[in-house]
Amino acid sequence: MKKALLFLAIFCVAVNAGMAQHRPHHRGHRPHFEKKETPKAPEFLKKGDTIAVLSPSSVPTDLSIIDKGEAVLQEWGFKTVEGRYARTNYHTYAGTPEQRVEDIMWALRDPSIKAIVCSRGGYGSANCLNLLPVDTLKKYPKWIVGYSDITGYLSAEVRAGNMAIHGNMCGRLANTGGTDQPSLYLRDMLMGKLPKYEVPGNEFNKPGTASGILIGGNMCVYGDIADTPFDFLDRSFIDGRDIILFIEEVEEPYSRIDRMFQHIILRGAMDKIKALVVGRFDGCPTSRGYNSVFEFIDEYMKPYDIPVCYDFPTGHDESWNYPLIEGCPVTLDVSKDKVTMEFNIK
């Protein structure tokens, strides 16, 4: 009997110890994480360098934007080459996942290619990422430029330890000839001339100053790759780092935006964010008694004592889509009257 009781006691201690190892950490009792390395900036470009134009998501509905986009890059002083499948139409994607990844791998591995500019976003990054190991991206650090669905690739780059550029693609370059302000910012950024943005304030702004690594983009896209090796909001990446998150959306109802916010909160990411940059939410119709999406987001952010700026020029309105460097340390200063953002690359 005594042996049985002794065995039972030892068994219970072992079970409790095992459960303790897997017990979730409650808010305020998370383990300490050491500061981690900042993602590295790929080599900046100089005139005469080669840029690959790829379509790693959807194929442009008007293929002439590829030609016109390449013409602008050439006018800026760069050479251009085109991915083999950049114009392929496979059920609206630019080729199968394997073909699109083949183009990406070619552009990454070719030492003569210094950067990748995407022709458009659309859909399709999620079905390619599993074929594109993070270790491969880490081995070949190059600037990748795009937004919308390209957010998935930008997130993967940051997880690989590389900075990337959330900015306009061939469509905007084709439509404006690359002479508008966002395009000129992009040209200068690729060559290492980094802007210090100063933009008008907004009535919903929560004033304050914060520094941290800038990540973000289209909420729907990075929500789709949550809890994967390509997710820059995963706790394995953000713990031990100061993070500034920027968000944008297009044509999503408030119910969907509501779910996206809840997802960020439920996974514990919002507790790690030092500031929030709210970009453009184009075509998101007002509903549920709110006068604007900013009023809706402001209600979400009231419990968080961090700076928040609204209507920052980033998003699907390409005329106001200022290029932002994902993974880059930035300093953000928010007031009711204006917002400044400075990129801190040594």
What whole-number distance in Å separates Cα of residue 80 and Cα of residue 59? 18
Rounded to the nearest 10 degrees, how much is the dihedral formed by the CA atoms of 299, 300, 301, 304?
A: 120
Which H or E run includes 291?
A: none
| Residues in a beta bridge with 115 | 51, 143
Rounded to the nearest 10 degrees, how much is the dihedral formed by the CA atoms of 321, 325, 326, 330?
A: -110
Q: Where are the domains of the chain?
A: 50-194, 197-343
Residue-level pLDDT at 10? 41
| CA atoms lying within 13 Å on the CB side of residue 248 | 26
Q: Angle 254-266/293-301 helices, nearest 10 degrees?
A: 20
Residue 175 tokens read as 């439509």
Q: Is 95 helix (H, G, I), strand (E, B) or coil?
A: coil
Residue-level pLDDT at 288? 85
CB 309 within 8 A of CB 245: no
197-343 has CATH 3.40.50.2300 classification: no
Report the Cα–Cα distance between both ends of the chain, in Å, rounded: 71
- Give me the tens of pLDDT residue by residue for the chain, a chain 346 residues long: 444 444 444 434 343 444 333 333 333 333 333 458 899 999 999 999 999 999 999 999 999 999 999 999 999 999 999 999 999 999 999 999 999 999 999 999 999 999 999 999 999 999 999 999 888 899 999 999 999 999 999 999 999 999 999 999 999 999 999 999 999 999 999 999 999 999 999 999 999 999 999 999 999 999 999 999 999 999 999 999 999 999 999 999 999 999 999 999 999 999 999 999 999 999 998 888 899 999 999 998 999 999 999 999 999 999 999 999 999 999 999 999 999 999 999 7
The dotted CATH code for 50-194 is 3.40.50.10740
DSSP state of 194: -
